[in-house]
């Protein structure tokens, strides 16, 4: 494990009830960075964020500073939207982050809003997160009362409003364009891109959508500098990383760790090993959308680029011997995604696990694109009969072919998110699926 | 029957309409108005949807489309307390389906069904996977649940019901 790096940026106040209040947050240094940031030129803040190598924690890992730079100069109205819809199975960090440190999110957003010249800002919080909504709304009210938000923030003359917008149950609203439709009061249907939100987003205005954890890193970057943040990380990924570990480990939990720790270290040293003295069979590295790792692939660092390119991770195939092509012959290995690590022990029924994942996507497809609407339903059906012991010869080929027909052929990435784990589990556990079908015959 | 929003709800909706003025319409307030209507009337009847449409100056069909898209809105009456039991992957791996079955037995309700006191929902991931299996009840999380704990948890919810409308 990388040593001497127990830096906590976004979880430092976990467990501190007092820090949820504005007074308690200020006592621990809160809102000092905002004062510094308001005195900086907006473009200098964006430059600092770019230099920090902060990458989006919502799943895609895109450079935050570069994204901010896409907003056209001189736009009359710009919006910043925090994506707090967290619902990718296996992921449970944003909810904890908002619950324990709501003011850090607000401070990060006000700094970002200043950098982006955004007056009307929103937190889109998942409807089911009722406890977190209460905490957040209270913090926002406090911040207004103290002048950190409002028509004249801290007497600078800048207007920065922040509205907490509750969803009402729909996984797809985590996809940023579906989220914008939902914010506009429509059904949460993803939009065709381009135009990208940074050019034409909420209410037709340039809009930056960032994840909760992403925005909560901003105050530390402005306080300590982009170089400091970049230095903490590894390669092109700055800062720390939250991983949420669930499934068959002794000590599941939400941990802020140095980027670069391996899955083996995470499971054995942080989580007390696999439960009941068993061994690992499969690890989902970053939410259920991401292809799983088998036990021979766990010494790879948990870092965006490593998970995509490390040759110790086998390329995903849609049929035996047929490599899935991400475009231009690029193989799909896996991705760091949302940081949700799900560990499955050696007694796990893999066909059943895959069925449960596919059932989720079939349920959550918004139905706009035929490959996703029909394909996720078929995959659920075929995987269910395999899991139930009623699989037929040819079912695995069928599953792989459907997945291949969905991936890359849809409006939003939910199609890929359903196809990738199907292909990934088939690639690495083909013989277990086959054995189950053989027993059924 | 023509319904009316309570004075409190009207005040909240007016404040939100002002907050969203930048959008040029009242449409962004529709989710909040539906949450308020469900709180006040218990469920979203055709009349409740008409009230929201009228209040926000939107077509009925549009409000209907939105109300039926999101899973937290209900068109039929339900229980005071909604138990959302997760069975997604992390919860399934640690016995989520067994816990769901224990809730069904204790409540005498199949998943998806309601009586006047409870609605039992099989939910997708509720973002508490590190404490699987888990369930969500309004602002309360039931964490690391075993089937044996279920009867006691239900008794507690009868005493302290945590309705979802509490936070609206
Ligand atoms: C189906 C789907 C669901 C998503 N759900 C979430 C989510 O719950 N939270 C989130 O932050 N990003 C989610 N994303 C990613 C967002 O579209 C977007 O990339 C992200 O919010 C950008 O923020 P970031 O750059 O800070 O990561 C989802 C994407 C897809 C395709
Ligand atoms: S890929 Fe699926 S979820 Fe995404 S827009 Fe198409 S149908 Fe909807
Ligand atoms: S899988 Fe059950 S809470 Fe996430």
Q: What is the pLDDT of residues B36-80, one digit of tens each?
A: 999 999 999 999 999 999 999 999 999 999 999 999 999 999 999
Across the range A225-246, mean pLDDT stands at 96
HEC assignment per residue over B29-42: HHHHHHHHHHHHHC
Q: How far apart are CA B74 and CA B52, in angstroms?
A: 15
For residue A361, report the distance from its CA to the centre of ligand 1, in Å. 15
Q: How far apart are CA A411 and CA A424, in angstroms?
A: 22
| Record: contact A184-B35, CB cut-off 8 A | no
| Record: contact B22-A353, CB cut-off 8 A | no
- Confidence check: pLDDT of A115 > 50: yes
Give the model's confidence band at A95: pLDDT under 50 very low, under 70 low, under 90 confident, else very high: very high
Could you tell me if A52 and A63 are in contact, meaning their C-beta atoms sit under 8 angstroms apart? no
Residues of B with Cβ-Cβ distance to A91 under 8 angstroms:
125, 127, 129
Across the range B121-126, mean pLDDT stands at 98
Alpha-carbon dihedral angle through residues B99, B43, A139, B141, given to the nearest 10 degrees: -10
Residues 83-102 of B with CB under 8 A from A: 84, 87-90, 92-94
* Test the B interface: residue of A58, A88, A89 with most B CBs within 10 Å: A89
* Test the B interface: residue of A127, A130, A151, A272 with most B CBs within 10 Å: A130
- Confidence check: pLDDT of A10 > 90: yes
Whether cis (ω within 30° of 0) applies to the bond prior to A195 is: yes
Could you tell me if B74 and B64 are in contact, meaning their C-beta atoms sit under 8 angstroms apart? no
How is residue A92 annotated by DSSP? Answer: -
What would the pLDDT profile of A314-361 be if each residue is shown by its tens digit?
999 999 999 999 999 999 999 999 999 999 999 999 999 999 999 999
- Confidence check: pLDDT of A307 > 60: yes
Residue A183: the pLDDT is 98
Across the range B141-151, mean pLDDT stands at 98
DSSP characters over chain B:
------HHHHHHHHHHHHHTGGGTSSGGGHHHHHHHHHHHHSS--HHHHHHHHHHHT--HHHHHHHHHHSTT--SS---SEEEEEE-SHHHHHTTHHHHHHHHHHHHT--TT-B-SSEEEEEES--S-GGG-S-EEETTEEE-S--GGGHHHHHHHHHHS---GGGG-
End-to-end CA distance of chain B: 24
3-state secondary structure of A242: strand
* Test the A interface: residue of B52, B69, B75 with most A CBs within 10 Å: B69
On average, the pLDDT of chain A sits at: 96
For residue A388, report the distance from its CA to the centre of ligand 3, in Å. 22
**Assigned token pair, B126:** 């509720």
| Record: contact B89-A185, CB cut-off 8 A | no
Cα radius of gyration (chain A): 22
- Confidence check: pLDDT of A2 > 70: no
Residue B1: the pLDDT is 66
Q: Are strands A120-125 and A79-84 parallel, antiparallel or unpaired?
A: parallel
Across the range A227-253, mean pLDDT stands at 96
Across the range A424-433, mean pLDDT stands at 98
For residue A408, report the distance from its CA to the centre of ligand 1, in Å. 17
Q: Does any ligand 1 atom lie closer than 6 A to the CB of residue A303?
A: no
Q: How far apart are CA A240 and CA A234, in angstroms?
A: 9
Q: Which of A168, A182, A254 sits opposite B130 (nearest CB)?
A: A254
- Does A129 reach chain B within 8 Å, measured CB to CB? yes
Residue A3: the pLDDT is 46
CA distances from B161 to A291, B64, B108 (A): 40, 29, 17
| Record: contact B69-A170, CB cut-off 8 A | yes
Q: How far apart are CA A189 and CA A323, in angstroms?
A: 31
- Confidence check: pLDDT of A11 > 80: yes
For residue A378, report the distance from its CA to the centre of ligand 2, in Å. 15
The residue count for chain A = 441
Q: Which of B23, B32, B167 sits opposite A184 (nearest CB)?
A: B23
Q: Does any ligand 1 atom lie closer than 6 A to the CB of residue A214?
A: yes
How is residue A189 annotated by DSSP? Answer: P
- Confidence check: pLDDT of A1 > 60: no
Q: Which of B27, B66, B90 sits opposite A247 (nearest CB)?
A: B90
Give the model's confidence band at A5: pLDDT under 50 very low, under 70 low, under 90 confident, else very high: low
A348: nearest CA in chain B? B93
Q: Are strands B140-142 and B135-137 parallel, antiparallel or unpaired?
A: antiparallel
| Record: contact A87-B127, CB cut-off 8 A | yes
B27: nearest CA in chain A? A185
- Does A340 reach chain B within 8 Å, measured CB to CB? yes
Residues of B with Cβ-Cβ distance to A170 under 8 angstroms:
69-71
Could you tell me if A364 and A190 are in contact, meaning their C-beta atoms sit under 8 angstroms apart? no
pTM: 0.97
Across the range A24-36, mean pLDDT stands at 97
Residues with CB under 6 A from ligand 2: A 172, 190, 365-369, 372-373, 410-412, 414-415
For residue A402, report the distance from its CA to the centre of ligand 1, in Å. 24
Report the residue among B134, B142, B144 best suited for mutation to probe ligand 3: largest number of ligand atoms under 8 A from its CB: B134
Q: Does any ligand 1 atom lie closer than 6 A to the CB of residue A107?
A: no
Residues 120-149 of B with CB under 8 A from A: 123-132, 136, 138-141
- Confidence check: pLDDT of A178 > 50: yes
Task: Give which of A344, A32, A319, A364 is closest to B124, Cα–Cα.
Answer: A364
What would the pLDDT profile of A47-81 be if each residue is shown by its tens digit?
999 999 999 999 999 999 999 999 999 999 999 99
Across the range A413-428, mean pLDDT stands at 98
- Confidence check: pLDDT of A4 > 60: no
**Assigned token pair, A276:** 């009941």
What would the pLDDT profile of A375-400 be if each residue is shown by its tens digit?
999 999 999 999 999 999 999 999 99
DSSP characters over A324-387:
-BSSTTPBP----TTSEEEEEETT--HHHHHHHHHHHHHHH--S-SHHHHHHHHHHHHHHHHHH
């Amino acid at each position: 494990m990388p040593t001497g790096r127990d830096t906590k940026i976004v979880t430092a106040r976990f467990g501190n009830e007092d820090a949820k209040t504005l007074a308690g947050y200020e006592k621990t240094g809160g809102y000092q960075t905002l004062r510094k940031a308001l005195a900086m030129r907006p473009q200098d803040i964006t430059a600092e964020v770019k230099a920090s190598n902060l990458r989006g924690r919502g799943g895609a890992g895109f450079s935050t500073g570069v994204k901010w730079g896409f907003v056209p100069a001189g736009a009359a109205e710009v919006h910043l939207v925090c994506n707090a819809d967290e619902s990718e199975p296996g992921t449970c960090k944003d909810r904890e982050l908002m619950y324990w440190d709501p003011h850090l999110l607000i401070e990060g957003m006000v700094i970002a809003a200043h950098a982006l010249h955004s007056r009307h800002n929103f937190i889109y919080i998942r409807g089911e997160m009722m406890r977190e909504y209460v905490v957040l709304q209270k913090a926002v009210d406090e911040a207004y009362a103290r002048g950190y938000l409002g028509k004249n923030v801290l007497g600078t003359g800048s207007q920065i409003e922040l509205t907490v917008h509750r969803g009402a149950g729909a996984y797809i609203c985590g996809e940023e364009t579906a989220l914008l439709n939902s914010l506009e009061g429509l059904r949460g249907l993803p939009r065709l891109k381009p135009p990208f939100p940074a050019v034409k987003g909420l209410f037709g205005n340039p809009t930056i959508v960032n994840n909760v954890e992403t925005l909560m890193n901003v105050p530390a970057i402005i306080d300590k500098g982009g170089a400091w943040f970049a230095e903490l990380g590894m390669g092109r990924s700055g800062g720390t990383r939250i991983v949420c570990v669930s499934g068959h480990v002794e000590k599941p939990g939400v941990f802020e760790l140095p980027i670069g720790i391996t899955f083996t270290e995470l499971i054995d040293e942080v989580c007390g090993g696999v439960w009941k003295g068993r061994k690992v069979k499969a690890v989902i590295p970053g939410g259920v959308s991401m292809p799983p790792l088998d036990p021979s692939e766990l010494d790879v660092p948990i870092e965006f680029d490593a998970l995509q390119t490390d040759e110790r991770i086998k390329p995903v195939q849609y049929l035996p011997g047929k490599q899935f092509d991400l475009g231009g012959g690029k193989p799909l290995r896996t991705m760091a995604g949302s940081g949700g690590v799900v560990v499955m022990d050696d007694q796990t029924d893999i066909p059943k696990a895959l069925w449960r994942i596919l059932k989720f996507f079939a349920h959550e497809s918004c139905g706009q694109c035929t490959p996703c609407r029909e394909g996720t339903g078929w995959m659920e059906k075929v995987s269910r009969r395999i899991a139930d012991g009623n699989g037929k010869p040819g079912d695995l080929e069928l599953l792989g072919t459907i997945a291949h027909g969905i991936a890359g052929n849809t409006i939003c990435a939910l199609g890929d998110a359903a196809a990738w784990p199907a292909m990934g589990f088939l690639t690495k556990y083909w013989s277990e699926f086959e054995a189950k079908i053989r027993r059924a015959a | 029957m023509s319904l009316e929003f309570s004075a409190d709800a009207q005040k909240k909706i007016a404040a939100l309409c002002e907050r969203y003025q930048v959008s040029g319409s009242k449409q962004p307030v529709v989710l909040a108005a539906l949450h308020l209507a469900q709180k006040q009337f218990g469920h979203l009847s055709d009349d409740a949807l008409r009230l929201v449409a009228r209040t926000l100056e939107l077509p009925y069909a549009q409000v209907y489309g939105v109300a039926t898209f999101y899973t937290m809105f209900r068109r039929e009456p339900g229980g005071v307390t909604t138990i959302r039991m997760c069975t997604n992957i992390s919860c399934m791996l640690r016995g989520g389906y067994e816990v769901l079955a224990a809730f069904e037995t204790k409540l005498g309700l199949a998943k998806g069904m309601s009586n006047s006191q409870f609605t039992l929902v099989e939910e997708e991931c509720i973002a508490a996977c590190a404490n699987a299996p888990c369930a969500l009840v309004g602002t309360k999380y039931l964490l690391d649940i075993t089937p044996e704990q279920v009867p006691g948890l239900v008794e507690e919810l009868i005493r302290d019901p945590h309705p979802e409308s509490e936070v609206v």
